[in-house]
């Protein structure tokens, strides 16, 4: 595997030589689609709306959120494997829009992708 990075979309709008995937279900507020360089937008890999709303980016929910999101990802093995294949060929950047850089779903998604099969 080359590398998997996570970057907040608001600070990283331009091409950077990696394969860039927006991993949010919703388009980031205040960013025009023409202003953001990405190779794809994978809404399906993001947490479900119900889980995202419950989490609400509250630090006290993060540990349970990780458990629940990992359970959702169990049903997305094909999507995860596709991302792993991309990461083997290119450096992969997971783009997210959350304000908090320490508690967000992209951190969990990266961990899952890095785990041995």
Query: Residue 108 to residues 31, 36, 37, 45, 111: CA-CA distances in angstroms?
Result: 24, 23, 23, 11, 5
Reported as a single tens digit per residue, the pLDDT across 42-82 is 999 999 999 999 999 999 999 999 999 999 999 999 999 99
Q: Compute CA distances 25 → 17, 43, 77, 116, whole Å.
A: 24, 4, 18, 26
pLDDT tens string 20-45: 999 999 999 999 999 999 999 999 99
Phi, psi dihedrals of residue 18, rounded to the nearest 5°:
-105, 165
In the structure, what pLDDT confidence band is assigned to residue 116 with cuts at 50, 70 and 90? confident
Q: What is the pTM of this model?
A: 0.95
Six token digits for residue 27: 């388009």
Report the pLDDT value the prediction gives residue 30, as an integer from 0 to 100: 95
CA–CA dist 86, 102 (Å, integer): 25
């Amino acid at each position: 595997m080359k590398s998997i990075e996570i970057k907040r979309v608001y600070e990283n709008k331009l091409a950077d030589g990696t394969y860039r995937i927006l991993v949010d279900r919703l388009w980031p507020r205040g960013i025009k689609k023409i202003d953001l360089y990405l190779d794809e937008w994978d809404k399906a890999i993001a947490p479900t709306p119900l889980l995202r709303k419950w989490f609400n980016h509250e630090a006290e929910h993060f540990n349970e959120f990780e458990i629940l999101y990992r359970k959702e990802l169990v049903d997305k093995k094909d999507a995860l494997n596709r991302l792993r294949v991309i990461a083997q060929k290119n450096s992969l950047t997971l783009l997210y829009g959350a304000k908090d850089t320490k508690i967000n779903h992209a951190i969990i998604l990266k961990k899952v992708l890095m785990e041995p099969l």
